[in-house]
Structure 1
Amino acid sequence: MKHIKQTVLVIKFILLATVVYQIYQMTAAGDFSRLESSIAVIPLIFAGDILKKLGVRTSAIIEIIFLIFLFISSILGSLFHFYEFVDYFDKFAHLLSGIVTAILGIIMLKKWRIKSKHQLSFDIILMNILSLAIASAWEIYEFVASKALNSDLQRVGASGVTDTVHDMIVALIGSLMVSVMYYAIVRNEKYRKLGIKLASLI
């Protein structure tokens, strides 16, 4: 466990150093088109620490998963222009976001012991609602950032509404994939044992 915590610290340091360097490079070049994306990444790097301060405990494994997702979606995607130069990278990032938020939804349900008479159906519905809520929040952020900095994060010039809806659908597909796996784990004895082992890690 000590090695895992050290891994989390190393990943955070690398992410923070990368973001700070990118902010410096953009500021020096007078390019502020991605400044808001860069600044927004900084508090996200320390999301686990913020949650702990609020009394919400998260495991090191979950932090690593989230930080890897943050690296792919924000640093590679926005700061290193993968969204522009790598085909379908944007859709891959949204698919991954749906998967990650659905997994986080499962963890929230179990950690906070949220119960329902129809537990399995309730869990699956809540997972997918959470995924869509996060996807919607991100699109709202892109809209506000675009207006504030006169950029085009939502690709309004190339049918931004279509791009926004596609992004949300892809995120939903990601959460539905997790829902199917979750259903199989809960309903099937063989998969349930695997689920218990995975749960012990988080």
Structure 2
Amino acid sequence: MVNKRFAFRKANWEKITFWFVFATLVASTAFSLIHVILSPSGAVAEVRFQKLKSDYVLMLIQCIMGIIIMFLPSILERKLQINVPSFMHIVFVIFLYAAIYLGEVRSFYYHIPHWDTVLHTFSGAMIGALGFSIVRLLNDSEKVSINLSPLFVAVFAFSFALAIGALWEVYEFSFDKLLGLNMQKFAYENGSLRIGRDALADTMKDLIVDALGALGTSVMGYISLRFKKGWLEKFAVTRIRPIKSNQDTSL
């Protein structure tokens, strides 16, 4: 009875977190769309820290993408017959809230020191944990007969997180170029451009802290696998086994 109640509370927290963040992003989408229409394209000299039309376009894109990505775990669960743990799902949704709503809509990237650095470090660690889950699914697959060493799994998880971090920077650069956005923070909030190494610093810092976050998870995961500590169990994506019928078991 206690276990059922505990599982019920966990499921409730997962749903509450999901729908709270979903409602926040939907409201932020409407907010940013209105300001895309009403905001000026160029800066007004008398106004400090004014958000321009391009800033709200970025905000709109981020909110829409966040809403779509929120449903990705449940889609993958159905398509691939896997189970994403409630804890990992909650952490993922909270990360989207911190990155999109707090970071972009509430301008934490500009007003809270190192907000972007903290999120990139955390994302590197989270994607590293996902890398461990991918290998675990392959090891557990009946179609793929492999059994990889803890060291190889740790190196794969680290490399996987770095690759995703690099692809994210490519995405930011491409959208900045195509739509005139400022995802890579090559300009200050008032629109003035950063100069020289300062313009490159944001991208390189993001990649470095991605690597540090992934390294932390990889080392912890290696120790966990090597000495069977089970430290990453809360983040472990597992395969859903089909329930055999009585007819199957009798054969």
* TM-score band, normalised by shorter chain: 0.7 to 0.9
> How many residues are aligned here?
196
For 2:119, the equivalent position in structure 1 comes to 93
Q: Are 1:172 and 2:211 matched, yes or no?
A: yes
Query: How far apart, CA to CA, are the structure 2 residues paired with 1:56 and 1:133?
Result: 25
CA contact (8 A) 2:150 2:226 kept: no
Contact 1:36/1:145 (CA < 8 Å) preserved in 2? no
State TM-score, norm by structure 2.
Answer: 0.71
Q: Check conservation: 1:116, 1:122, Cα contact below 8 A.
A: no
Which shifted more, 128-137 or 152-161? Answer: 152-161
Give 1:37-48 correspondences, 5 Å limit: 37-48=62-73
* 1:44-123 mapped onto 2 (5 Å cutoff): 44-57=69-82, 58-113=84-139, 115-116=146-147, 119-123=149-153
**Structure 1 position 147, deviation (Å):** 2.3
User: Which residue of 2 is the match for residue 4 of structure 1?
Assistant: 10
Residues 200 and 169 of structure 1: CA distance in aligned 2, closer, same or farther (over 3 Å): closer
Alignment root-mean-square deviation, CA: 2.1
1:152 is paired with a residue whose SS is: coil
Shift of 1:166: 1.4
Which protein has the bigger helix share? 1
Q: Work out the CA distance in 2 between the residues paired with 1:160 and 1:74.
A: 22
- Give the conservation status (yes or no) of the 8 Å contact 1:135–1:171: yes
* Structure 1: unaligned runs, 5 residues or longer: none
Corresponding residue SS for 2:80: coil
1:91 Cα shift?
Answer: 0.6
Could you give the per-residue CA deviations for residues 150-179 of structure 1, whole angstroms, max 9, x where no partner exists?
Answer: 111112332443321210110010011112
What code does the residue aligned with 1:11 have?
T
Higher RCO by CA contacts (8 Å cutoff, separation 6 or greater): 2
TM-score by length of 1: 0.87
Residue deviations 1:107-127, cap 9 Å, x none?
Answer: 22112317455x122111111
Deviation at 1:134, TM superposition (A): 1.3
Deviates most, 8-17 or 81-90? 8-17
Report the Cα offset of residue 187 of structure 1. Answer: 3.6
Q: Is the 8 A contact 1:143 1:154 kept in 2?
A: yes
SS in structure 2 opposite 1:155?
A: coil
Q: Distance in 2 between matches of 1:178 and 1:15?
A: 26
In structure 1, C-alpha distance between the alignment counterparts of 2:234 and 2:199, rounded to whole Å:
42
Which residue of 167, 183, 186 maps to 1:153?
183
- My pick for the range that moved more, 20-29 or 107-116, is 107-116
1:163 corresponding residue in structure 2: 202
1:28 aligns with 2:54: no
Greater CA radius of gyration, 1 or 2? Answer: 2
